[in-house]
Amino acid sequence: MAIITNPVLPGYHPDPSMLRVGDDYYIAVSTFEWFPGVQIHHSRDLVHWRLLTYPLTRTTQLDMVGNIDSGGVWAPCLSHAAGIFYLIYTDVKSRKGAFKDTHNYLVTAENIEGPWSDPVYLNSSGFDPSLFHDDDGSSWLLNMIWDFRKGENAFAGIALQRYNRVSQSLTGPVHNIFKGTRLGVTEAPHLYKCNGYYYLITAEGGTGYTHAVTVARSASLPGPYEVDPDNPVLTSDPGQPGELQKAGHASLVETQNGEWYMAHLCARPAVENKCILGRETAIQKCHWTQDGWLRVMDGPHPSINVEAPKLPPHPMRMENDRDEFSSAELKGYWNSLRRAFGEDWISLSERPGFLRLKGGESMQSMHRQSLLARRLTDFHVEIETQLEYSPEDFQQMAGLIIYYDTTDYAYLCVTHHEARGRCLGIIESRHGQYDELLTERIALPEGPICLMATIHNERLQFHVASIDEAWRTIGDVIDIRHLSDDAADYIRFTGTFVGLCAQDLGGRRRAADFSYFDYRPLP
C-alpha cells in the first residue's frame, strides 16, 4: 500500500488550496512578502510533489515594495471552470492595529503554467478569498469579513457575492452566510457541492496551536448553514509534541476513483513549540458518513503517514539542491523579498557562471533589498557558498544569511574595516535588536572566500574557508528559535529562508559575485 508521508510540502508552505483537473493535482500556497507570488505544486498521485510554477511574476500583477513583514500574498485559492484556471489572492498592505488593508484580486490562465493575466480587482472587505463554481455555470466569491469596530467580533463572518465571469466583476448583493462556531476566528472559506448539499469548510481557532478545520452545510447556497455536530473535523493535539501541530486551513479534492482527501497546513516544532521551518502542508484521507458529514479517516488529529489513493505511482523530477548559476534563469526554488527579479539588482549574465548581486538596502528594509533565498525545509542541513567580493567601506556587505524577516536574522558577512581591511563579521537581529556576535571582525585574505552554515534544529554554526584551506568555525553556536512564527509579540506567518545577499548603504550598488550555492540535508 502506497503511503503519503506528511508534510508533503516541508518548510514554509501554508494555506494550501488543492485542485484536481483531470489526472493532475495542484496545490497553491501563500507566499506573503516573497516574490514571485504564489507557489503552485503538481502531483499525479498525491504522494510525490514538485514545484511547478509561480503565476504572479510581474509587478503589474503584484507590487509589494513597501509591504510589511508577513503582508503581501495571503491564502490563494486555485479553481478551474470551462477550461480556465482561476487564481484568487489577497495583497495585504497593513495588518497591525484595528484596521487591515486587504485587497483581493483575480488572475486567469488557460494553462496552469501560464501565461497568467494581469489582475482583476475584486474587493477589500476581508482576506482569505476563494471562488466557487456552481454546476449551473455561476461563480461566487467568498471571503472573511474584517470588522475593525470596538466591541465587535473582528472575524465577522463569511461574505458571499456573485462573480460574473464575462464582465469580470462582482455583481448583486453581499450575503453574510456564516458567523462561525464557538471556536471563533472564522476564516479561510472554501465551498464544495456534494451529496445534495453545499459544504462550507472554514478555518477556526486562530492559526496557532488551537487551529482547526470546521464544516457546515446547507441545501441552498446562501444558507442557512447547519454546523457539523462533531466539529472540529481536524485539529492538532498540543499534548503530542512529536506529531503535526497547528492543523487547519483546509481544502478538499475528490480523486478520479471517488476517494476524498484534505490538504491542510501544519507545523513541526523544532524545540519548545518553536516552528523554525514555518507552517507546512499535509494531506489527510477523508470519508463521508451515512448522514452526510465529512470525516478525516484517522481524525480528528492529523497523521504523518496516510493511505495514498489508488492511483499509479508518479515520482517527480526535482531540481538539484546545488546551484552553480550556469543557467540563464534562476532555479524555481529561489525567491526575492518584495521586488521582482531584474538586471538592476541581480544578474546571471554579467559574469557568466556567477550570480551577481548589486548592493541594495539594509536587512531591515521593506523596499529594495538585494536578497536571494530559498526555504529552509530540513531541521538538519549544511548550506555553503563561495563569494568573490571587494568592499570598499563598512557600508558595503555581502554573504550568507539565515533570514525570517526584517526583525529576525543571522548574517555571516564580508565587509571592510578601516584598520583590518576586508574582514568577516556576524550580524544578528533578534526581535529587532541589532548585535554583532564577534568580539572583533576577522581579517580576510584577498580572493574567493567560502562561507558555510550548519543548522541542527535551533542551533546554527557559521564556518569560513579560503580556497584550498580547511573550514574554520566562526563564533559561537547561535540559538535561532527566534526565527519562527512563535517567537514574536505580534503574530506572523512565514518561515526561515537561507540565502545570499548584498548591501551597499552608500547607494553605489557594489556588486558581489557568488559562484555556487549548495543546500545539503543532513541525517
* Class (C level, CATH) for 3-307: mainly beta
The average pLDDT across 307-313 equals: 97
pLDDT-based confidence at 299, cuts 50/70/90? Answer: confident
146-159: pLDDT as tens digits: 999 999 999 999 99
484-504: pLDDT as tens digits: 999 999 999 999 999 999 999
pLDDT for position 242: 81
Which cell is 364 given?
A: 531591515
pLDDT for position 73: 98
Instruction: Compute how many other C-beta atoms are within 10 angstroms of the C-beta atom of residue 360.
Output: 24
The average pLDDT across 352-378 equals: 98
Residues 6+ apart with CB under 8 A from 239: none
pLDDT for position 239: 86
Decide which of 277 and 1 is more confident: 277
pLDDT for position 349: 97
For residue 408, pLDDT beyond 90: yes
pLDDT-based confidence at 219, cuts 50/70/90? Answer: very high
418-430: pLDDT as tens digits: 999 999 999 999 9
C-alpha–C-alpha distance, residues 396 and 84, integer Å: 48
Least confident of 253-257, 292-296, 298-302, 422-426: 298-302
Coil, strand or helix at 486: helix
C-alpha–C-alpha distance, residues 380 and 454, integer Å: 8
pLDDT for position 241: 79
Is 187 considered catalytic here? yes
pLDDT for position 393: 96
DSSP 8-state symbol, 116: P
pLDDT for position 363: 98
pLDDT-based confidence at 181, cuts 50/70/90? Answer: very high
On whether the CB atoms of residues 76 and 29 are closer than 8 A, the answer is yes
pLDDT-based confidence at 468, cuts 50/70/90? Answer: confident
Which cell is 490 given?
A: 505580534
195-208: pLDDT as tens digits: 899 999 999 999 99
C-alpha–C-alpha distance, residues 464 and 186, integer Å: 49
On whether the CB atoms of residues 320 and 312 are closer than 8 A, the answer is no
**Assessment of whether the complete model's pTM goes beyond 0.95:** yes
DSSP 8-state symbol, 481: T
Domain ranges of the chain: 3-307, 322-521
Which cell is 500 given?
A: 545570499
Q: Which of 33, 187, 280, 388 is catalytic?
A: 187
pLDDT for position 298: 83
On whether the CB atoms of residues 180 and 259 are closer than 8 A, the answer is no
Strands 245-254 and 234-235 come out as unpaired
The average pLDDT across 248-266 equals: 98
User: What is the CATH number that goes with domain 322-521?
Assistant: 2.60.120.200
pLDDT-based confidence at 1, cuts 50/70/90? Answer: confident
Average pLDDT, rounded, for the chain: 97
Is 15 considered catalytic here? yes
Q: Residue 376 burial by CB count (10 A; 0-12/13-18/19+): exposed, middle or buried?
A: buried
